[in-house]
C-alpha cells in the first residue's frame, strides 16, 4: 500500500481545488510583484539552486514566482531536494519522509526513495520519520509551484528541526556528495524578518541577503544573531549554501525582495520575503 501524506495547508495557505489553485498560481506570476507570465524555454543548462518563501500564496506567492519562473530557462531536473524548517518542533532533528507520495490539489508527488537513501548514507544527521512532516508547511507550499512548472517530478523533503550551524553544514555537505555530477534541483524554504514595520524589515533582511549573495554561511548566522533577524528557515538556507559552494557556486543572486505589506497592503507589521537563484558549477 502506498504511503500518502495529505496536505496540511491546502485551502489555507493556497487554494484547495485544482482549478482555483492553478488560477491562483497564474495570478502570482502576473501580479504587480510577480515575475510575469511563464514562458517555458527549456535548455540543456544545469538547474540552479533556489531560495523561496513559504507563506500563504496571497502574501509570498508573487515573490516565489520569480524563482520558479526562472527555472524555465534551464533543463528539467532528474529530482528535487527541498530543505525546510520545522516550525512545530515535533519529530526528529533532521527528517526525511520514508517513501510514498505527497498529495496536493494538483496531484501526487512521489518521494525519490533512492535519493533519500543516498542522503542517509552520505551523512549521519538524517532520520526517517513521518511525524516531522505531518503539520509542516514550509516544504509543502513549494510543491504546487513545481507541479505548475514541471508537471511530474520526484523529490526528497528535508525537514530541519535542529538549525544549528554545525548540523546544517553537515546537511549541506551530505547533499553535495549526493548531488555532485547530477542535475538535481535544490530549494531552501524560508521567510525573513517577522512582524516589524516594512522599511525596517527591508533593511534588516538586506543584511542577511548580502551574506547569502556571498554564500557566507557563518556570516549569515552572525548577522542574524547580531541584528535580531527573525528568519525562520536560516538552517535550510545554510544547508543549501553549503552544498552550492561545494558544487562550484560562487555567488547568489536576489531576484526579488518584498514584504507582506507589498502584497497585503498593511505596512505596519510585515513579514519579509526573498527569491534567490544560485548558479551551480557545470
Mean pLDDT of the region 79-94: 97
Note the CATH number of domain 4-278. 3.40.830.10
pLDDT digits (tens, 9 = 90+) for 119-153: 999 999 999 999 999 999 999 999 999 999 999 99
Q: Strand 4-5 vs strand 101-104: parallel, antiparallel, or unpaired?
A: parallel
Mean pLDDT of the region 33-61: 97
pLDDT of residue 2: 86
Sign of the dihedral defined by the CA atoms of residues 32, 109, 249, 136, in that order? positive
Give the burial string for 140-160 (b: 16+ CB within 10 Å, else e).
bbbbbbbbbbbeebbbbbbbb
pLDDT digits (tens, 9 = 90+) for 243-259: 999 999 999 999 999 99
Q: CA distances (Å), 72 to each of 110, 241, 255, in order?
A: 21, 22, 15
pTM, whole model, 2 decimals? 0.98
User: DSSP character for 16?
Assistant: S
pLDDT of residue 282: 61
Residue length of the chain? 282
Concatenated DSSP letters of 139-188: TTTHHHHHHHHHSS--EEEEEES---HHHHHHHHHHHHHHHTTS-EEEEE
pLDDT over 80 at 281, yes or no: no
pLDDT of residue 226: 98
Amino acid at each position: 500500500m502506498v504511503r500518502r501524506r495529505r496536505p496540511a495547508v491546502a485551502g489555507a495557505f493556497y487554494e484547495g481545488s485544482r482549478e482555483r489553485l492553478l488560477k491562483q498560481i497564474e495570478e502570482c506570476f502576473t501580479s504587480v510583484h510577480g515575475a510575469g507570465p511563464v514562458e517555458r524555454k527549456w535548455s540543456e543548462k544545469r538547474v540552479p539552486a533556489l531560495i523561496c518563501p513559504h507563506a500563504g500564496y496571497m502574501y509570498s506567492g508573487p515573490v516565489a514566482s520569480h524563482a520558479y519562473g526562472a527555472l524555465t530557462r534551464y533543463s528539467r531536473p532528474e529530482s528535487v531536494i527541498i530543505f525546510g524548517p520545522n516550525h512545530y518542533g515535533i519529530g526528529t532533528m533532521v527528517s526525511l519522509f520514508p517513501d510514498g507520495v505527497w498529495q496536493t490539489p494538483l496531484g501526487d508527488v512521489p518521494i525519490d526513495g533512492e535519493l533519500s537513501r543516498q542522503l542517509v548514507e552520505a551523512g549521519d544527521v538524517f532520520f526517517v520519520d513521518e511525524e516531522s512532516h505531518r503539520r509542516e508547511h514550509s516544504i509543502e507550499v513549494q510543491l504546487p509551484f513545481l507541479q505548475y512548472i514541471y508537471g511530474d517530478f520526484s523529490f526528497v523533503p528535508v525537514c530541519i528541526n535542529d538549525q544549528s550551524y554545525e548540523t546544517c553544514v553537515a546537511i549541506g555537505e551530505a547533499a553535495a556528495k549526493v548531488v555532485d555530477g547530477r542535475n538535481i534541483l535544490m530549494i531552501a524554504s524560508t521567510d525573513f524578518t517577522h512582524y516589524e514595520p516594512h522599511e525596517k524589515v527591508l533593511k534588516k533582511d538586506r543584511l542577511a541577503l548580502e551574506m547569502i549573495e556571498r554564500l557566507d554561511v557563518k556570516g549569515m548566522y552572525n548577522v542574524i544573531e547580531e541584528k535580531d533577524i527573525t528568519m525562520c528557515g536560516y538552517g535550510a538556507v545554510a544547508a543549501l549554501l553549503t552544498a552550492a559552494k561545494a558544487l562550484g557556486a560562487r555567488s547568489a543572486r536576489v531576484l526579488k525582495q518584498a514584504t507582506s505589506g507589498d502584497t497585503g497592503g498593511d505596512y505596519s507589521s510585515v513579514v519579509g520575503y526573498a527569491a534567490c537563484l544560485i548558479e551551480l558549477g557545470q
